[in-house]
């Protein structure tokens, strides 16, 4: 969240919640893609990059 402006943190956190609460790895990947294509995902591409680079730590297979 250090990449996100204070005023946008709740929006970004709500969007990211769908990734880390997804029931399957595939659903999590789909949620990440949806986040990347969303308004907040496009506003904060470094957040998307951080999730993609650390995918194995966030979503164990």
In angstroms, rounded to a whole number, what is the distance separating the alpha carbons of residues 30 and 24? 10
pTM equals 0.85
- The confidence band for 48, taking pLDDT boundaries of 50, 70 and 90, is very high
pLDDT tens figures, 4-38: 899 999 999 999 999 989 999 999 999 999 999 99
Burial of 18 (0-12, 13-18, 19+ CB in 10 A): middle
Q: What's the chain look like in SS3?
A: CCCCCHHHHHHHHHHHHHHHCCCCHHHHHHHHHHHHHCHHHHHCHHHHHHHHHCHHHHCCC
């Amino acid at each position: 969240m250090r990449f996100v402006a204070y005023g946008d943190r709740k929006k970004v956190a709500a969007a990211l919640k769908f990734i880390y609460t997804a029931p399957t790895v595939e659903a999590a990947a789909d949620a990440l893609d949806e986040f990347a294509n969303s308004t907040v995902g496009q506003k904060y591409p470094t957040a998307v990059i951080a999730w993609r680079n650390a995918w194995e730590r966030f979503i164990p297979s």
